[in-house]
């Protein structure tokens, strides 16, 4: 700016430029639709691509000189954070992708692991597929379920397109049952805890498969969806109950999703069943 401008003039120009730049930045953020990435963490995955708008913070003392400047910047910040949710048509499109990906994942994994035209029988589902490094027996039902989950999430990545900014795949949240507050965990921190064997830090975290939310803000939640792959497929898709000594023992995933995310109807997505709320 020219040196002849007074301090008040310079601050006024700054406030106006901030208001314009924050609003334009939000529009650009909503227009981009890069697929979200997820990485395996034990048998779960975490979303690694959340974008948050950058805001100007007034230096100490500015409010005392020009109180209207803080109000102007705050108004711009409020406008930027009021990011829209999916409209009815977009929501219907995402739900169709969810159903299609569940069906496709189940079919492709059955074909690959069981043979052409084969489906898991009740007897096979109960059989042990392998024993893991901790000595725990993994059944075919568990193995098929994990493989189908991974295939469904990969399908979602490919199909979301410009709607990807409104969808997170397996984000990880911590939940405080006393304060009823949730916090989105940094996937880099989660990976660090896993590498260091600090699994107790992850006890009680919630990891929905698919979260719909305002663009770039996984805490402004619109919907929660979990893929379910019953084995055999004739079994109804149920919410899994937590078992002792888990802190949510005797409650189900659905119960905790309702409480933590304040969602009336968290949904299950299963091949052949579609979306169940």
Residue 107 makes CB contacts below 8 A (sequence gap 6+) with 271
Tokens describing residue 238: 């149920």
User: What per-residue confidence (pLDDT) applies to 18?
Assistant: 38
- pTM equals 0.71
User: What per-residue confidence (pLDDT) applies to 52?
Assistant: 29
> Which among 89, 100, 76 has a CA at the least distance from the CA of 25?
76
Q: Tell the burial category of 53 from Cβ atoms under 10 Å away from its Cβ (0-12, 13-18, 19+).
A: middle
> Which among 83, 32, 39, 78 has a CA at the least distance from the CA of 55?
78
Instruction: Give the domain ranges of the chain.
Output: 88-276
User: What per-residue confidence (pLDDT) applies to 105?
Assistant: 98
Question: Using an 8 Å Cβ cutoff, are 56 and 109 in contact?
Answer: no
Question: Using an 8 Å Cβ cutoff, are 215 and 167 in contact?
Answer: no
User: What per-residue confidence (pLDDT) applies to 231?
Assistant: 97
User: What per-residue confidence (pLDDT) applies to 11?
Assistant: 37
User: What per-residue confidence (pLDDT) applies to 206?
Assistant: 96
Backbone angles phi, psi at 259, to 5 degrees: -70, -50
Question: What is the mean pLDDT for each group of 10 consecutive residues in the chain (277 residues)?
Answer: 42 38 37 38 31 29 34 43 85 98 98 97 97 92 97 98 96 94 94 90 92 95 98 95 89 96 96 96
């Amino acid at each position: 700016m020219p040196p002849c401008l007074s301090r008040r003039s310079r601050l006024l120009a700054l406030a106006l430029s901030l208001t314009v730049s924050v609003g334009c930045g939000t529009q650009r953020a909503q227009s981009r639709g890069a697929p979200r990435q997820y990485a395996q963490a034990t048998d779960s995955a975490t979303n690694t691509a959340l974008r948050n708008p950058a805001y100007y913070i007034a230096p100490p003392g500015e409010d005392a000189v020009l109180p209207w400047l803080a109000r102007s910047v705050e108004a711009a910040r409020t406008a930027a954070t009021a990011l829209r949710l999916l409209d009815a048509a977009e929501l219907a499109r995402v739900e169709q992708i969810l159903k299609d990906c569940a069906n496709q994942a189940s079919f492709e994994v059955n074909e690959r692991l069981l043979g052409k035209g084969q489906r898991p029988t009740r007897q096979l589902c109960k059989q042990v597929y392998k024993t893991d490094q901790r000595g725990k027996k993994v059944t075919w039902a568990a193995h098929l379920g994990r493989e189908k989950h991974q295939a469904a999430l990969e399908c979602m990545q490919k199909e979301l397109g410009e709607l990807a900014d409104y969808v997170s795949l397996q984000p990880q949240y911590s939940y405080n049952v006393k304060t009823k507050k949730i916090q989105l965990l940094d996937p880099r921190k989660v990976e660090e805890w896993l590498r260091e064997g600090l699994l107790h830090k992850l006890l009680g975290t919630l990891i929905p498969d698919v979260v719909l939310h305002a663009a770039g803000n996984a805490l402004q939640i619109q919907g929660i969806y979990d893929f379910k792959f019953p084995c055999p497929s004739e079994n109804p898709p149920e919410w899994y109950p937590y078992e002792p000594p888990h802190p949510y023992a005797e409650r189900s995933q659905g119960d905790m999703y309702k409480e933590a995310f304040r969602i009336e109807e968290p949904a299950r997505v299963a091949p052949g069943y579609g979306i169940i709320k």
